[in-house]
């Protein structure tokens, strides 16, 4: 009996391992089938995944669970009273009005950008708003003071949606301000990304909850550790107060965004929006709230009041993410670039575009358009940094000029075309923002604001170094290897 028992245990273990390997094989084959026939991914990314799943089945199994699955089936971001037919009818009416030139723009040359407006309407259902006031801000101290003051002035509701909120002096100021408003009877709701706020934890937001506010994580992990949706993050930074004032842009909430961090001075870009375009930010928040909280809020008129402040800036608020069939923001970027006649200025911390974006930039430069791209000189994500350099280097021969920002860390996400149209928001110029993250950008048809962004770009060049063809060609073998390895890894993840 003493001999039989170990043999039995050995047989059971062997059988379990065999069953596991069979299950692993079935899973990997199913994943390959989904990649090739269902998801129809980019060929380069598909080949990379096939290689990992076939050659490294155990590692491929884990990586695919964490990073590989798409969320196209999860198109549940909706407002109960804002169904598809209702939205489509409004989009169709506005497209007809646009084609018949019945939409009044304060800028006389806005007609140049009708193709961009039509694209965002068709792909992202991004309504055109013409009665907004938009202020650009790149100074962290002033930006956060304005946000906090807007929260303190709230009388009906405060809606916040942020990728990162730090447990530091600035983060606690926001929690205290939200808790105070909740105690005063203001409806306070906050969505935070579970990965971006991984180090914070739900206890950090307890003062808001205890005061009567609501706080929910976006795509939380199992027990806070295992997250099978880790690759799909809510990268949006949105604040809406009383349906009258909105904020959108690149600043997260933490003292590092004030320059108090290892990367030093922080250069970012954000918008304060008042007027009718706030309604688009409000709708975006409510759709994300419904999904994250499992609720089904409809279109409460109190969330969409008549604007108290009316301007003459025209804009569209575009959103995209892994739940949508089209990459609306990326397509908006491409259409903007295609409209360029004189100049393009791009500011981005991460430049990892796909071939389409690269081709459009290359063609623009070769056609005589002055293309300038500003990137950081120091990395916060090392693999993305080396990949950015490799892609920038591939454009230099076409006449694109590139600069590295030396003053601190560059986190702004902006683009200006001909000083006439611009975009500011949460999306970087990389495949993650194009395909994987939930992002929101404002596309703005206004000469004054576009010129403001151009002047900001020129000021940044005073603290930058040009990455010339000679400088890029002189990089060492180690740097070239880092670029090649990083570019391969970013094509998979």
Structural domains in the chain, sorted by start: 4-68 (no CATH), 84-320 (3.30.870.10), 328-492 (3.30.870.10)
Q: Which residue has the higher pLDDT, 219 or 50?
A: 219
Provide Rg for the chain, Cα atoms: 24
Please state, in angstroms and rounded to a whole number, the distance separating the CA atoms of residues 98 and 169. 47
- Coil vs helix vs strand at 251: coil
Please state, in angstroms and rounded to a whole number, the distance separating the CA atoms of residues 283 and 274. 15
Whether the per-residue pLDDT at 241 is higher than 80: the answer is yes
How confident is the model at residue 78, as a pLDDT?
Answer: 60
Please state, in angstroms and rounded to a whole number, the distance separating the CA atoms of residues 174 and 204. 11
Output the average pLDDT for the chain. 84
What confidence tens digit (pLDDT) does each residue in 121-165 have? Answer: 988 789 999 999 999 999 999 999 999 999 999 999 999 999 999
Q: How far is CA 95 from CA 100, 118, 403, in A?
A: 9, 7, 39
Share of the chain above pLDDT 70, in %: 76
pLDDT band at 12 (very low <50, low <70, confident <90, very high): very low
Please state, in angstroms and rounded to a whole number, the distance separating the CA atoms of residues 367 and 337. 12
Please state, in angstroms and rounded to a whole number, the distance separating the CA atoms of residues 360 and 429. 13
Highest mean pLDDT, choosing among 31-40, 205-214, 220-229, 319-328:
205-214
How confident is the model at residue 486, as a pLDDT?
Answer: 65
Per the CB < 8 A criterion, the answer to whether 202 and 165 are in contact is: no
Which tokens is 174 given?
């926001």
Which tokens is 3 given?
């001999």
Q: In sequence order, what are the beta bridge partners of 192?
A: 162, 217
HSE-up (13 A, CA, CB side) for residue 333: 33
Which tokens is 210 given?
């205890």
What confidence tens digit (pLDDT) does each residue in 315-331 have? Answer: 999 999 887 778 999 99
Q: Write out the catalytic residue numbers.
A: 235, 237, 242, 411, 413, 418
Mean pLDDT of 193-201: 90
If one counts every other C-beta atom within 10 angstroms of the C-beta of residue 455, the result is 12
Read off the pTM.
0.84
pLDDT band at 478 (very low <50, low <70, confident <90, very high): confident
What is the enclosing helix (H) or strand (E) of 132? strand 128-137
249: left (phi over 0), alpha (psi -120 to 50) or beta: left
Please state, in angstroms and rounded to a whole number, the distance separating the CA atoms of residues 283 and 417. 28
Which tokens is 157 given?
């509701």
What confidence tens digit (pLDDT) does each residue in 373-409 have? Answer: 999 998 777 777 778 888 898 999 999 999 999 999 9
What confidence tens digit (pLDDT) does each residue in 417-461 have? Answer: 999 999 999 999 998 899 889 999 999 999 999 999 999 999 999
pLDDT band at 17 (very low <50, low <70, confident <90, very high): very low
How confident is the model at residue 87, as a pLDDT?
Answer: 59
Whether the per-residue pLDDT at 47 is higher than 60: the answer is no
Q: What are phi and psi of 103, to 5 degrees?
A: -95, 125
Residue 306 neighbours by CB under 8 Å, 6+ apart: none
């Amino acid at each position: 009996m003493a001999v039989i028992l170990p043999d039995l245990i050995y047989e059971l273990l062997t059988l379990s391992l065999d069953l596991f390997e069979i299950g692993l094989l079935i899973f990997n084959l199913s994943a390959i089938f989904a990649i090739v026939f269902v998801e129809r991914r980019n060929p380069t990314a598909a080949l990379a995944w096939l290689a990992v799943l076939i050659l490294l089945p155990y590692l491929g199994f884990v990586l695919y669970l964490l990073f590989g699955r798409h969320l196209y089936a999860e198109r549940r971001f909706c407002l109960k009273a804002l169904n598809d037919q209702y939205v489509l009818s409004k989009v169709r009416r506005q497209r007809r009005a646009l084609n018949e030139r019945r939409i009044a723009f304060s800028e006389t040359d806005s007609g140049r950008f009708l193709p961009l407006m039509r694209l965002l309407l068709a792909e992202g259902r991004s309504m055109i708003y013409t009665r907004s006031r938009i202020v650009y801000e790149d100074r962290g101290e002033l930006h956060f003071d304005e946000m906090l003051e807007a929260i303190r002035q709230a009388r009906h509701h405060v809606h916040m949606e942020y990728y990162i909120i730090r447990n530091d002096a600035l983060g606690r100021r926001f929690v205290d301000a939200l808790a105070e408003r909740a105690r005063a009877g203001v409806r306070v709701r906050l969505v935070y990304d579970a990965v971006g706020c991984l180090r914070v934890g739900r206890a950090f937001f307890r003062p808001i909850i205890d005061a009567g506010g609501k706080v929910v994580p976006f795509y939380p992990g199992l027990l806070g550790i295992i997250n099978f949706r880790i690759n799909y993050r809510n990268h949006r930074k949105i604040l809406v107060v009383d349906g009258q004032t909105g904020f959108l842009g690149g600043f997260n909430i933490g003292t590092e965004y004030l320059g108090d961090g290892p990367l030093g001075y922080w250069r970012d870009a954000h918008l304060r929006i008042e007027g009718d375009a706030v309604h688009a930010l409000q709708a975006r928040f409510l759709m994300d709230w419904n999904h994250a909280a499992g609720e089904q809020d409809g279109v409460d008129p109190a969330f969409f009041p008549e604007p108290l402040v009316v301007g003459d800036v025209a804009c569209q608020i575009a959103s995209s993410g892994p739940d949508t069939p089209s990459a609306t923001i990326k397509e908006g970027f491409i259409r903007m670039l295609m409209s360029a006649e004189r100049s393009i200025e791009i500011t981005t911390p991460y430049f990892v575009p796909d071939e389409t974006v690269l081709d459009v930039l290359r063609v623009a430069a070769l056609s005589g358009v002055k293309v300038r791209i500003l990137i950081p000189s120091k990395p916060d994500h090392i693999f993305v940094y080396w990949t950015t350099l490799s892609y920038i280097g591939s454009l230099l021969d076409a006449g694109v000029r590139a600069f590295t920002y030396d003053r601190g860390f560059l986190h702004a996400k902006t683009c200006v075309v001909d000083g006439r149209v611009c975009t500011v928001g949460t999306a970087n110029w990389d495949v993650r923002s194009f395909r994987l993250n939930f992002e929101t950008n404002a596309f703005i048809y206004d000469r004054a604001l576009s010129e403001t962004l151009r002047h900001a770009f020129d000021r940044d060049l005073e603290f930058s170094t040009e990455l010339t063809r000679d400088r890029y060609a002189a990089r060492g073998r180690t740097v070239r290897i880092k670029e090649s390895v990083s570019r391969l890894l970013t094509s998979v993840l």
